[in-house]
Structure 1
């Protein structure tokens, strides 16, 4: 793995790269409260299969820039970061893969710039429009999404999540995953990332921007690029019903359900790596079914 920094869309992003530069580009987008390290089990697998892997710390996380304004974390802005990364790689297209918030960014990148996305792989987050519908109308999802409302409160969420250098966040990861998913060594890496100056504030600002700065209107919300949705069926935060509703908005989509929690790429790392390889097209980027 090579660690580098890339200027894109007015910010400087820390990016971990691996694999041959001549291979098809794969961009791996982490979610909350992770950073590039969340893909550690898939980076080498994809690089060895011939892909050129870029795994950024998205804006606000770990070693990347952390703008102060909530508006700096609007979904349209986050999508522009991804397009800037593809441009920096001197590529027209990339296979875009995302988990959690990274999946929301990946979905909206495919909606907004289908000509720049070769294939889309989303993990355990639905199409953003489906998420909005369920979060507003479905009582079960409303209960599961309670923390989004809490994150709108000024300063208090930052205080709680910063408590004892991220001890509460570490508890959330462990309590919402299968036993042994996150080791003590893993959590040390996460706590180092969370304690970067301004990181917790910026991570929460993603949720604030989702409410305060809605996406600009699109002519169509359909996803026209080939799409794979990987969904851990024991997710405590998101209802399984949203998976098929998301695929219904895809011209060429399929969903694979796995017996995991929300942290699917951690609990079934080999299976997830293989699914991404298959969807992206192994070795030379040829598509496979």
Structure 2
């Protein structure tokens, strides 16, 4: 049965569930500041391979799932939101995530390997090597996180041609991406909830090793995540692992390199088979 929404802990999450109904399910987790629509060019490729794709608008993005304080955006809740979705699917899934969706996916794959058949991470590594890299060059790349933690200021500079849009253009966005941000995030009311993930960083739990087949996909034109963030990442995956570097692609892999994103997911699924 197609899932259009699901409920966890009194919150209602919207879902885009498409592709062959009898296909193996692939759950796709978006990052910031995007919604489930960021997978719109990846999903059809997976459908052609016989797979069903299930992409939720996560906590803070779905209108029915927007806690008002940062304490509603702790990583434990973000992980359990995905677990609840997989329970709704009714069977183990292949999991993929980009940006913040990748950060959450690492936690899901480590905590509930019984529910995850394969894991494809994009842009953001396992949290331990990422934390270690903050002692070096990555610290400078992550300074934007400090801005996002200032109460109200990011919301105030998110207007047309404001500082946030200029930051995103500098990261690889084009006019169409900016317009989608205005419509799907700012006008939709999802920006405060999306920023809540950053403001709850201190609530992040420890994430263990991942035992399922895993692929890490990173692009070398990523202005937010540098190569040093992946040093030693293989130590945190005990199952089959592959690191793939995309040349000349910006941070926004699902929208700027959908074929590569789909290929990575399909490759990880093949390892699980």
Secondary structure of the corresponding residue to residue 41 of structure 1: coil
**Structure 1 residue 267 corresponds to structure 2 residue 219:** no
Please give the alpha-carbon distance, in whole angstroms, between the structure 1 residues aligned to 2:175 and 2:43.
19
**Structure 1 residue 232 corresponds to structure 2 residue 219:** yes
The aligned runs of 1:100-249 (5 Å cut-off) are 100-135=99-134, 137-138=135-136, 140-161=137-158, 163-164=159-160, 167-177=162-172, 182-184=174-176, 186-196=177-187, 198-211=189-202, 213-215=203-205, 217=206, 221-249=208-236
Deviation at 1:287, TM superposition (A): 3.7
Change (3 A) 1:277 1:239: same
Deviation at 1:10, TM superposition (A): 3.1
User: Does the aligned pair in 1 maintain the 2:18–2:52 contact within 8 Å?
Assistant: yes
Secondary structure of the corresponding residue to residue 115 of structure 1: coil
RMSD: 2.1
**What TM-score do the two structures reach when normalised by structure 2?**
0.91
User: Does the aligned pair in 2 maintain the 1:62–1:196 contact within 8 Å?
Assistant: no
Secondary structure of the corresponding residue to residue 248 of structure 1: helix
| CA deviations over 1:31-72 (Å, ceiling 9, x no partner) | 011111111111111122111110111111154521112111
Deviation at 1:155, TM superposition (A): 1.6
Single out whichever of 51-60 and 9-18 deviates more from structure 2: 9-18
Change (3 A) 1:134 1:244: closer
User: Does the aligned pair in 1 maintain the 2:218–2:246 contact within 8 Å?
Assistant: yes
Change (3 A) 1:13 1:256: same
User: Does the aligned pair in 2 maintain the 1:6–1:88 contact within 8 Å?
Assistant: yes
Deviation at 1:173, TM superposition (A): 2.9
**What TM-score do the two structures reach when normalised by structure 1?**
0.86
User: Does the aligned pair in 2 maintain the 1:62–1:193 contact within 8 Å?
Assistant: no
The aligned runs of 1:70-89 (5 Å cut-off) are 70-89=70-89
| CA deviations over 1:233-258 (Å, ceiling 9, x no partner) | 11111111222422231112110101
Please give the alpha-carbon distance, in whole angstroms, between the structure 2 residues aligned to 1:194 and 1:265.
17
Deviation at 1:272, TM superposition (A): 1.8
Single out whichever of 269-278 and 168-177 deviates more from structure 2: 168-177
User: Does the aligned pair in 1 maintain the 2:129–2:231 contact within 8 Å?
Assistant: no
Match of 2:38 in 1: 38
Q: Which runs of 4+ in 1 moved over 4 A?
A: none
Deviation at 1:265, TM superposition (A): 2.3
User: Does the aligned pair in 2 maintain the 1:58–1:64 contact within 8 Å?
Assistant: no
Single out whichever of 40-49 and 63-72 deviates more from structure 2: 63-72
